[in-house]
Structure 1
Amino acid sequence: MSEFASKVVVITGASSGIGAATAKELSKQGALLSLTGRNKKRLAQVADECKKLGAKDVLQVVGDVSKQEDMERIIKETADKFGEIHVLVNNAGLGLVAPIATFTLDQFDRCFNVNVRAVLYLTKLALPYLEKTKGNIVNISSIGSTTYATKGFSIYCATKAACDHITKASALELAKSGIRVNAVNPAVVKTNIIVNIGFSEEQSKEMFADNAGKHPLNERNIKVEEVVDAILFLASDKATMITGSCLKVDGGRELVGQ
């Protein structure tokens, strides 16, 4: 029996991409899932798939993690339904192309609210439950926090650097409660976040093709499943003495510094 069987896992940004794939893999292992996302239709589709794959139960909470009331509702509804929380996966993220010459403060605030404020506030809200279960947190960051500096992405990269430091500082602070906090830092992964930041389909294809060769290992982009494997490892008892780590899933890209 999987160690995730009957454990309550909260996953933000679960209606697509890495969040949806993580939910489906945990379903195969019999987890109890609390899934949140902004798109009600897609979230329902993911929840249905999770049930078919073996999830013990699935809670759907439609919400926007940039809003305080929605974050509070996510944790409250999870606690009301399941009574406990074992793992929090802070996966919801906002990609953003915002050149310095043209960015707006609304863009800045939106990106930081989703990628930084939500990570810290959801950690605070989940803390009482994680203390009881000696649970753990996995934050989804990016190699953009340290390596992937590129034109137009200064705000996004800054949010991911902040996510890394929240991971490390909160790991230190929460260690006394037996709570582990780690991050997964992928390189370029083929998900619809690239389309959502404003790239056309053709631009997305060019971006993926250009980035593939920059990953020394196998010269290809990172697969969603490879990121999910890292998330589940850090959330599992196999990582019992790992906390404050930012695990890069980047095919060696950091080693070449681009």
Structure 2
Amino acid sequence: MFSSKVVLITGASSGIGAATAVRFAAEGAKLALTGRNLENLQTTAQKCEEKSQLKPVIIKADLDLDDDVKNIINTVIKVYEKLDVLINNAGIFFISNPEDGNMEVYDKIFSTNVRSIYLLTSLAIPHLIKTKGAIVNVSSLAAIRPFALFTPYCMSKAALDHFTRCLALQLGPKQVRVNSVNPGVVPTDIHRRAGMSAEQIQFMYEKCKDSHLLGRPGTVDEAAEVILFLASEKSSFVTGETLLMDGGCHLSSAAL
């Protein structure tokens, strides 16, 4: 399905990004993987190579640094000479709300979850126009459903969804499709890195039995399948969509 396609995935060192990389590798994609943790990126790359016998390009990068972002695109084009698919997966999450007045956390969330994606996408657009490519943004249920103590994160994902719609409107006539996938709770390291305790995380997963209509959290592999679909020709007439992958949580009256 992707044997002639060059796919760039951010946040590919763990979680949804890593699972997505392996899934695209299984379809024969030529991969460029970015993340902050080089060791984890190498682990992901090895798993990808086992699937396709193609060695991914690894780019260690901090998306909060403009020079790193520019280097990502420059490296992809230098190695592969084109770009077909951009997966904006990298993102961070912290417990924070307006009552704590913590602007450092607010700025950090918006820098990674919004600004870096805007810059990386801007740099990628000329190359995606040439290939009539696709962009998939990894958003969240939090973009449409408010959660206490997660205000900056919810705001950042709402901004990402509207970026998806605006960009789809702009790039549609140029045959570049732009969509988002919006997962509900998916067990990854993001919650631990946000400072949640093991007990808090386990409690949240248990609450999914009530808050998610299908009675469980999602999986990284399920998210990867949706991302693959939105990037593929199977969704060739889909653009500007924010596709919920939340086990029906957005319909539930139960709180997380």
CA distance in 1, matches of 2:112, 2:172: 25
Q: Which runs of 4+ in 1 moved over 4 A?
A: none
Q: For each residue in 1:2-60, what CA deviation from the matched residue of structure 2 results, as whole angstroms up to 9, or x when unmatched?
A: x2113100000000000000000111111100000000111111111111111523100
Give the distance between the partners of 1:247 and 1:100, measured in 2 at CA. 28
Residues 120-154 of structure 1: CA distance to partner in whole angstroms, max 9, x if unpaired?
Answer: 1111100111011000000000010111x222100
For each residue in 1:149-168, what CA deviation from the matched residue of structure 2 results, as whole angstroms up to 9, or x when unmatched?
Answer: 22210000000000000000
Among the aligned pairs, what percent are the same residue? 41
Moved more, 178-187 or 208-217: 208-217
TM-score, L = length of structure 2: 0.96
What is the rounded CA distance, in whole Å, between the counterparts of 1:93 and 1:55 in structure 2?
29
The answer to which of 116-125 and 128-137 deviates more is 116-125
**1:195 maps to which of 187, 192, 195:** 192
CA positional deviation for 1:245: 0.1
In the other structure, the counterpart of 1:238 is 234
Q: Which position in structure 2 is the counterpart of 1:249?
A: 245
2:90 partner SS: coil
Normalised TM-score (structure 1):
0.96
How far did residue 100 of structure 1 move? Answer: 2.1
Match of 1:204 in 2: 201
**Are 1:29 and 1:55, in contact at CA under 8 Å, matched by a contact in 2?**
no
Cα RMSD for the two superposed structures: 1.1
In structure 2, what is the Cα distance between the partners aligned to 1:55 and 1:205?
37
Corresponding letter in the other structure for 1:239: S
- What is residue 218 of structure 2 aligned with on the other side? 222
Measured in 1, the distance between the counterparts of 2:54 and 2:64 equals 29
The total of aligned residue pairs comes to 254
How far apart, CA to CA, are the structure 1 residues paired with 2:22 and 2:153?
27
Please list every run of 5 or more consecutive structure 1 residues that lacks an aligned counterpart in the other structure. Answer: none
Alignment partner of 2:211: what SS?
A: coil
Q: Which residue pairs with 1:146 in the alignment?
A: 144
1:183-221 deviation digits (Å, cap 9, x = unpaired)? 00000001110111101112211111123321112x001
Deviations 1:55-85 (A, max 9, x none): 5231000001111111100110011000000
Q: Spell out the pairing of 1:1-258 with structure 2 (5 A cutoff).
A: 3-54=1-52, 56-147=54-145, 149-217=146-214, 219-257=215-253, 258=255
Distance in 2 between residues matched to 1:135 and 1:56, nearest whole Å: 21
Q: Deviation of residue 226 (structure 1)?
A: 1.1
Query: AA paired with 1:11?
Result: I
* Structure 2 gaps, min length 5: none
**Residues in 2 aligned to 1:12 and 1:72: alpha-carbon distance in whole angstroms:** 13
Check whether the contact 1:5–1:31 (CA below 8 A) recurs between aligned residues: yes
Deviation of 1:256 after TM superposition, in Å, equals: 2.0
Instruction: Please give the alpha-carbon distance, in whole angstroms, between the structure 1 residues aligned to 2:53 and 2:67.
Output: 27
Once the 2 structures are TM-superposed, how far is the Cα of residue 105 of structure 1 from its aligned partner? 1.6
C-alpha displacement of 1:101: 2.2
Q: Distance in 2 between matches of 1:139 and 1:99?
A: 24
